[in-house]
């Protein structure tokens, strides 16, 4: 028995590899964090190493004190996670002030959790509150088509949500609340972390202009599925715009969207309908 046999670790590794297989994680692009359930921490605890030093994050969250997160490593490649999980991912513990982490397992060749850990951490805090503790996953990736959309559409939630909802009938069902959009900002710091977490109060996905996408969800399947569905919608949008030379002959109308919502029992964000 090794920690790599524990279900949550296996599922986490599988999601990293799925993202790599999709082409969303060139080099060290993207990052994944998961807020562990207490019973998952206990399943992993026998394999914990001597804890590392506490490291201050520059951000703080009262509702995440004492939590444990699985995280990809800063500078590590998603491509390598499946080959050597112990060197490319880690488990960190959060201190009782909610402002520092320390590594309790993994990154055995050295390193630290993802450079976007402050963004992930604040997003976890906001999503934990917004979903009554249900959301546990924050996933950041660099899918090409959603990034391409940020060069041709106004950078508003309304423009992106409508374009994606109209791109595939599944989209309004999978993300009826729509997507947020963060203007271009320097990655890795507290400013982009705060801007993203503000949007995450309302949305479970936020586009980073000219960079990528952040998604959150209760488990790996739902969160990966959200990233996948948004990127698929973006791919169809880009294909149709390119093939039609910028003109669409027809699309899914607002009445069509309302009909989908009615039949599938989802509530669409009314701000984004005419």
Phi, psi angle pair for 186, to nearest 5°: -65, 130
- Measured between alpha carbons, how far apart are the two ends of the chain, in Å? 57
Q: Is 187 exposed, middle or buried (0-12, 13-18, 19+ CB in 10 A)?
A: middle
- 189 binds ligand 2HA per the rule CB under 6 A: no
The DSSP string of 143-186 is: -HHHHHHTTTS-SSHHHHHHHHHTT-THHHHH-TT--EEEPS--
- 225 binds ligand 2HA per the rule CB under 6 A: no
- Which position's Cβ is nearest ligand 2HA? 187
Binding mask 206-235 for Zn ion (x = CB under 5 A): ------x-----------------------
Q: Is 46 exposed, middle or buried (0-12, 13-18, 19+ CB in 10 A)?
A: exposed
- 118 binds ligand 2HA per the rule CB under 6 A: no
- 187 binds ligand 2HA per the rule CB under 6 A: yes
Q: Where are the alpha helices (DSSP H) in the chain?
A: 7-22, 38-44, 78-81, 85-88, 117-130, 144-149, 157-165, 170-174, 190-200, 220-243, 254-264
Count of residues in contact with ligand 2HA, rule CB under 6 A? 9
Please choose which of ligand 2HA, Zn ion, none residue 114 contacts, taking the beta carbon within 5 to 8 angstroms, the exact cut-off set by kind. ligand 2HA
Footprint on residues 5-44 left by ligand 2HA (CB under 6 A)? 28-31
- 116 binds ligand 2HA per the rule CB under 6 A: yes
Q: Which residues are catalytic?
A: 116
Please choose which of ligand 2HA, Zn ion, none residue 169 contacts, taking the beta carbon within 5 to 8 angstroms, the exact cut-off set by kind. none
Q: Which two tokens stand for residue 44?
A: 């992993």
Q: How far is the CB of 192 from ligand 2HA (least distance, A)?
A: 9
Q: How far is the CB of 114 from ligand 2HA (least distance, A)?
A: 6
- 115 binds ligand 2HA per the rule CB under 6 A: yes
Q: Which stretch binds ligand 2HA (CB under 6 A): 113-121, 128-136, 194-202, 247-255?
A: 113-121
> Which residue, 203, 135, 120, 136, is CA-closest to 164?
203
Q: How far is the CB of 267 from Zn ion (least distance, A)?
A: 31
Q: For binding to ligand 2HA (CB under 6 A), which residues are involved?
A: 28-31, 114-116, 140, 187
């Amino acid at each position: 028995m090794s920690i790599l046999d524990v279900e949550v670790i296996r599922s986490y590794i599988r999601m990293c590899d799925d993202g790599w297989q999709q082409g969303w994680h060139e080099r060290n692009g993207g990052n994944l964090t998961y807020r562990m359930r207490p019973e998952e921490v206990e399943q992993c605890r026998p394999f914990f190493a001597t804890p590392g030093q506490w490291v201050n994050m520059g951000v703080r969250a009262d509702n995440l004190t004492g939590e444990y997160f699985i995280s990809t490593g800063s500078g590590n490649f998603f491509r390598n996670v499946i080959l050597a999980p112990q060197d490319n991912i880690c488990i960190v513990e959060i201190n009782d002030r909610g402002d520092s982490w320390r590594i309790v397992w993994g990154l055995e060749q050295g390193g630290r959790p993802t450079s976007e850990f402050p963004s992930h951490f604040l997003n976890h805090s906001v999503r934990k509150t917004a979903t009554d503790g249900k959301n546990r996953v924050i996933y950041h990736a660099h899918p090409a088509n959603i990034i391409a959309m940020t060069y041709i559409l106004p950078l508003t939630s309304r423009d992106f949500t409508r374009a994606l909802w109209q791109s595939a009938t599944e989209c309004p069902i999978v993300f009826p609340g729509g997507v947020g959009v963060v203007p271009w900002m320097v990655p890795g710091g507290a400013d982009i972390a705060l801007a993203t977490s503000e949007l995450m109060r309302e949305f479970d996905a936020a586009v980073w202009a000219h960079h990528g996408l952040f998604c959150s969800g209760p488990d790996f399947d739902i969160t990966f599925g959200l990233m996948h569905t948004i990127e698929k919608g973006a791919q169809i949008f880009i294909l149709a715009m390119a093939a039609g030379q910028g003109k669409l002959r027809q699309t899914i109308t607002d009445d069509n969207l309302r009909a989908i919502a009615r039949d599938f029992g989802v509530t669409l964000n009314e701000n984004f309908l005419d």
